[in-house]
Copies of this chain bind each other. A is one copy, B any other.
């Protein structure tokens, strides 16, 4: 892990950009933490620069709770090398949505499954490194999307103690099945009129998740319209489970 830059933000939060095995990432540390901090992995749809304003706001809310937060770029996104296959299926997806067609299961599978397979080992490697840093003690949570990445992480990674999953992306049938093996407490966020999401599939996924404690919060509006109070609700959820 190489730290590339750092800056001190409002509320004394220390933001450090890093590169890990060639993958860009950002780590945010609370200004003064009395004990080793829990860590929230911030999920996103890819494109750290584009997502930065929302990510830093979420990281600062974590820091206000005394938690560290971190994220890494997704495969084939942002400054990372592109993938011809990923470009092709993204183009198919855009074409289907623009034509007002139902997005086929085959497109969803080819869009999401390779991404999950490539990303999850990277997030686990990031956990290895981040949890070994001074000031970070775990436990760890995952918050955000891509929801299929969050589901796989929750299944395979025992250090994820709880997750806030944003149901804002298409979900392969195979991931709905995989969701039955999740056992950690979950808060699932759904935007009821999300233009880039299949509401019924999100409800099916919520139903399938195997966790004994899972809560769905559905709000009005589109993909980017999650109300500010859901940030507070997510922090209260993590405060109950990250001990």
CB within 8 Å of B: which residues of A? 192, 203, 206-207, 211-220, 227, 229, 232-233, 236, 240
Q: Which residues of B contact A213 (CB under 8 A)?
A: 220, 227
Alpha-carbon gap, A220 to B211, bound state (A)? 9
Also in contact, A217 and B215, with CB within 8 A (given A192-B207, A229-B240, A233-B233): yes
Q: Which residues of B contact A227 (CB under 8 A)?
A: 213, 215
Oligomer copy total:
2
Alpha-carbon gap, A193 to B32, bound state (A)? 43
CB distance from A184 to the nearest CB of B (A): 14
Assess the B217–A217 pair: CB atoms within 8 A: yes
Q: Which residues of B contact A233 (CB under 8 A)?
A: 233
The 4 closest A-B pairs by CB, nearest first: A216-B218, A215-B219, A217-B217, A214-B220
CB distance from A11 to the nearest CB of B (A): 22
CB distance from A154 to the nearest CB of B (A): 16
- Which of chain B's residues has its CB closest to A215's CB? B219
CB distance from A187 to the nearest CB of B (A): 10
Assess the A229–B236 pair: CB atoms within 8 A: yes
Alpha-carbon gap, A48 to B212, bound state (A)? 31
Alpha-carbon gap, A194 to B2, bound state (A)? 52
CB distance from A238 to the nearest CB of B (A): 13
- Which of chain B's residues has its CB closest to A193's CB? B207
Assess the B220–A212 pair: CB atoms within 8 A: yes
Q: Which residues of B contact A217 (CB under 8 A)?
A: 215-217
